[in-house]
Chain A
Amino acid sequence: AQSVTQLGSHVSVSEGALVLLRCNYSSSVPPYLFWYVQYPNQGLQLLLKYTTGATLVKGINGFEAEFKKSETSFHLTKPSAHMSDAAEYFCAVRPSTDSWGKLQFGAGTQVVVTP
């Protein structure tokens, strides 16, 4: 079975500072990994995903994440935070052998951006 751990339920960053959200996973087979963002009163939308190939993945809104197999991690970063980045972020995992698309989500990290 797979699981996802997001370190820190709340993160506060200053506008212009680095955003770093941590995600560690456990999976018995190579995983597909996802980061989703949820803005207030909205559904989740995909930020980026890792499937195979290049371990540094670029997504929308300037975010990127790096898959590190040895550390079982998929941390999300953005070099310079913007006020519009205030949202909740979810890491999710799916075993690559699962052909049906069930995702296991982490508990989420709420990001607050201060001026």
Chain B
Amino acid sequence: DAEITQSPRHKITETGRQVTLACHQTWNHNNMFWYRQDLGHGLRLIHYSYGVQDTNKGEVSDGYSVSRSNTEDLPLTLESAASSQTSVYFCASSTLAGGSNTGELFFGEGSRLTVL
């Protein structure tokens, strides 16, 4: 079955370190998204990509970067981790919208990051 997997599922790091969260999907979806989930805020969009070599900033992109070298993967990098980036991170993917395709998102199980 097609799926979307995130790794690591849990990570503890120190302030100032670079961290990369991996996201791999086998749906062959063009669109991929990174969200962070924080209490009281729901999910907020960090970065997204509509295809290989395409990346775009979301509403909370400061301190994060992504790259898209193939269809399956969209790694999220925290350049210099800060305590404010302690959160649960979700990767999601979708097909292109249009016609009967409503572009619903398919989510990974999340990566819990703690920055000390």
Contact = CB atoms under 8 A, between A and B. Distances in A.
A100 B103 contact: yes
Contacts of A4: 42
A6 B42 CA distance: 10
A6 B104 CA distance: 20
A94 B103 contact: yes
B43 A99 contact: no
Interface in B43-75: 43-45, 48, 50, 58
A72 interface: no
B108 A43 contact: yes
Nearest to A110: B39
Contacts of B33: 101-102
Which one of B35, B41, B43, B98 has the greatest number of beta carbons of chain A within 10 Å? Answer: B43
A101 B94 contact: yes
Interface string B77-116: 0000000000000101011111000111101111000000
B9 to A, nearest CB: 9
A107 B97 contact: no
B109 A43 contact: yes
A51 interface: yes
B31 interface: yes
B102 A49 contact: yes
Contacts of A34: 104
A90 interface: yes
A4 B44 CA distance: 12
A43 B42 contact: no
Contacts of A44: 43, 90, 92, 105, 107
Interface of A: 4, 6, 9, 32, 34, 36, 41-46, 49, 51, 90, 94, 98-103, 105-108
10 smallest beta-carbon distances between A and B, as pairs? A101-B103, A43-B107, A101-B94, A107-B42, A105-B43, A105-B42, A44-B107, A43-B109, A99-B97, A51-B102
Given A100-B103, A101-B96, 9 more contacts: A41-B110, A42-B109, A43-B107, A43-B109, A43-B110, A94-B103, A101-B104, A102-B33, A105-B35
